[in-house]
């Protein structure tokens, strides 16, 4: 008897069902018959539509038998990773929004106390209960005074025999001090990166650091090998919000300087763009339009952060003088020291030089969110869904 022709089998199965065992047995007519088979994954579909197909015609006197566990045919997608999320007092509201995004995220508490001399007296509740768990901490370094107590917790959590540790620091606060311009300048961004790079390694390896729209891209090279920085962005939140506006087809994006353009233009390249620049006239530095035309457009000024707001206001004035119909602004990090957010008023109709239609910020700076809540033109775009998704990586 001549050998049977090769039998080609193709499998259509979702990746989630590959974990259960699967055996394909081809039983020959006699022990002398020998033939080969080939298996291919051709698609990834719904688990309920798992199937096996034979490409060739049935081989006479041969009986193909498929043996697969019931679990492989009926299993649901792989369970989400369970994460225990700790937080500081400032980030409680954001932590609750993150937990609301996924049943796989469980909030855990820390007791934040101080001794009489003002130094931290901290306690991690049910420390033994997080053994073997994926753990995250949501931090806010809003001032030097709160950094030490949070670092104490951040350094302690990986030592509790946890499976992995993720530090979520939405705003990297020393980012604007990233370089030395003359001898004696101290790059405090580098200092903070070194401190975070020395977080103890957990059972799962180096700590993962999640931060949004860091001020200077070169700061990613400040971190050591003991930490894995994940740089995320709030720009997708802005794009989703712009699509909801009634004049979404009349929006242009303006950048207050070349630095903002370099950081964000690739994420916003489907919008018409306007690039501004600071130029020196005598002893003053003023903002000029370098390229683009704002006339008749709803112009949205985009930058990574705002402090005093002086540059944004100058940019707003020059855009209005060149015929912008509406002006709004977006920054990922609304820092606003000394309540400088009060400098921005609402345009209630046709006066873009005096007010903004919208001023969008994220909740990366929780203290600012409390101050501007329900105060037009400010509107908060929450990072909760982005953080929840990143915790599942």
Q: Which residues of 275-310 are buried (b: 16+ CB within 10 A; e: fewer)?
A: bbebeeeeeeeebebeebebeebbbbbbbbbbbebe
Let me know if residue 379 belongs to a domain: no
Model confidence at 152: pLDDT above 70? yes
Asked if 300 and 268 count as a contact pair (C-beta separation under 8 A), the reply is no
Query: Are 162 and 129 found together in one domain?
Result: yes
In the listed set 46, 74, 102, which residue is the last one of a domain according to the structure? 74
Identify whether 374 is part of a domain.
no
Confidence of residue 17 (pLDDT cuts 50, 70, 90): very low
Task: Tell me, yes or no, whether 371 lies in a domain.
Answer: no
DSSP state of 356: B
Reading the block at residue 86, the tokens are 């700790």
Domain end point (choices 74, 102, 124): 74
Express each pLDDT in 176-215 by its tens digit.
Answer: 766 556 788 888 888 899 999 999 999 999 999 999 998 8
Q: Model-level pTM? A: 0.78
- The answer to whether residue 189 is domain-embedded is yes
More confident residue, 74 or 183: 183
**89 and 225 both lie in a single domain:** yes
Same domain, 62 and 189: no
List the domain range (segments joined by +) for residue 187.
Answer: 83-232+386-391
Q: What is the mean pLDDT of residues 70-98?
A: 78
Look at residue 347 and tell me whether its pLDDT is greater than 50.
Answer: yes
Confidence of residue 50 (pLDDT cuts 50, 70, 90): very low
pLDDT confidence of 1, banded at 50, 70, 90? low
Range from 111-120, 282-291, 301-310 carrying the lowest mean pLDDT: 282-291
Say if residue 62's pLDDT is above 80.
no
Angle at 193 between CA 190 and CA 199, to 5 degrees: 150
DSSP string covering 191-229? HHHHHHHTSPPBTTBSEEEEEES-S-GGGGGGS-TTEEE
Share of residues in the chain with pLDDT > 70 (%): 77
349 in the same domain as 244: yes
The bridge status of strand 120-124 relative to strand 110-114 is antiparallel
Q: Which residues contact 15 (CB under 8 A, 6 or more apart)?
A: 44
Q: Are residues 123 and 224 in the same domain?
A: yes
Identify the weakest region by mean pLDDT among 150-154, 190-194, 382-386: 190-194
* CA 56 to chain CA centroid, nearest Å: 48
pLDDT classification of 47: cutoffs 50, 70, 90: very low
Same domain as 59, residue 136:
no
Percentage of residues of the chain with pLDDT beyond 90: 68
Q: Is residue 197 part of a domain?
A: yes
- Residue 352 clears pLDDT 60, i.e. is over it: yes
Give the closest residue to 141 by CA, choosing from 102, 159, 167. Answer: 167
pLDDT (average), residues 155-161: 97
Question: Is 380 inside any structural domain?
Answer: no
Q: Are residues 90 and 36 in the same domain?
A: no
Same domain as 220, residue 257: no
Kindly report the CATH number assigned to the domain that includes residue 279: 3.40.50.2020
Q: What distance, in Å, lies between the first and last C-alpha atoms of the chain?
A: 55
Which range is least confidently modeled, 96-100, 175-179, 236-240, 242-246?
A: 175-179
Query: Of the candidates 42, 74, 106, which is a domain's last residue?
Result: 74
3-state SS class at 238: helix
The confidence score (pLDDT) of residue 216 equals 73
**Do 90 and 226 fall within a single domain?**
yes
Residue 333 has pLDDT above 50, yes or no: yes
Which H or E element spans position 153?
helix 144-156
How many whole angstroms separate alpha carbon 122 and alpha carbon 141?
Answer: 17
Q: Would you say residue 328 has pLDDT above 90?
A: yes
pLDDT of residue 46: 41
- The CA-CA-CA angle for residues 138, 141, 145, to 5°, reads 130
pLDDT digits (tens, 9 = 90+) for 254-299: 999 998 999 999 999 999 999 999 887 777 778 999 999 999 999 9
Tell whether 98 and 219 lie within a shared domain.
Answer: yes
Average pLDDT of 244-257? 97
**What pLDDT does residue 284 have?**
75
pLDDT confidence of residue 4: 53
306 and 332 together in one domain: yes
What pLDDT shows up at residue 91?
98
**Mean pLDDT across the chain:** 83
Tell me if 116 is assigned to some domain.
yes
pLDDT tens-digit map of 223-235: 998 899 999 999 9
Say whether both 120 and 43 belong to one domain. no
pLDDT tops 90 at residue 379: yes
Cβ count near 213 (within 10 Å)? 23
In a domain, 305, yes or no: yes
**11 pLDDT more than 50:** no
Rounded distance between C-alpha atoms, residue 101 and residue 176, angstroms: 32
* 156 pLDDT above the threshold of 60: yes
Total of domains in the chain = 3
């Amino acid at each position: 008897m001549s050998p049977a022709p090769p039998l080609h089998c193709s499998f259509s199965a979702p990746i989630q069902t590959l974990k259960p065992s699967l055996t394909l047995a081809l039983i020959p007519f006699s022990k002398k018959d020998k033939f080969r088979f080939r298996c291919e994954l051709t698609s990834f579909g719904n688990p309920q539509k798992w199937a096996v197909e034979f490409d060739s015609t049935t081989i006479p006197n041969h009986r193909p038998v498929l043996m697969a566990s019931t679990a492989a045919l009926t299993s649901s997608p792989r369970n989400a990773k369970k994460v225990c999320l700790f937080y500081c007092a400032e980030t409680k509201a954001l932590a609750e929004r993150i937990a609301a995004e996924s049943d796989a995220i469980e909030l855990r508490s820390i007791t934040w106390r101080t001794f009489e001399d003002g130094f931290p007296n901290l306690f991690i509740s049910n420390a033994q209960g997080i053994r073997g768990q994926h753990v995250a901490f949501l931090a806010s370094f809003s001032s030097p005074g709160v950094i030490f107590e949070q670092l104490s917790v951040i350094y302690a959590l990986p030592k509790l025999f946890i499976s992995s540790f993720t530090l979520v620091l939405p705003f990297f606060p020393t980012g604007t001090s990233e370089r030395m311009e003359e001898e004696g300048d101290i790059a405090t961004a580098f200092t903070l990166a070194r401190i975070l790079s020395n977080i103890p390694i957990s059972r799962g390896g180096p700590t993962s650091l999640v931060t949004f729209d860091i001020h200077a891209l070169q700061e990613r090279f400040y971190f050591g090998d003991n930490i894995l920085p994940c740089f995320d962005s709030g720009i997708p939140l802005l794009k989703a919000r712009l699509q909801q506006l009634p004049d979404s087809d009349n929006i242009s994006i303006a950048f207050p300087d070349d630095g903002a353009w370099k950081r964000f233009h690739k994420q916003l390249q489907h919008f018409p763009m306007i690039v501004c620049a600071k130029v020196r006239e005598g002893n003053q530095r003023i903002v000029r339009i370098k390229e683009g035309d704002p006339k008749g457009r709803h112009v949205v000024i985009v930058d990574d952060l705002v402090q005093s707001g002086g540059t944004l206001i100058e940019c707003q004035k020059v855009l209005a003088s060149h015929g912008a119909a509406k002006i709004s602004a977006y920054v990922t990090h609304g820092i606003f020291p000394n309540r400088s957010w009060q400098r921005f008023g609402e345009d209630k109709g046709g006066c873009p030089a005096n007010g903004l239609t919208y001023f969008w910020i994220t909740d990366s700076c929780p203290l600012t969110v409390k101050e501007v809540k329900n105060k037009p033109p400010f509107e908060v775009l929450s990072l909760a869904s982005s953080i929840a998704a990143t915790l599942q990586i």
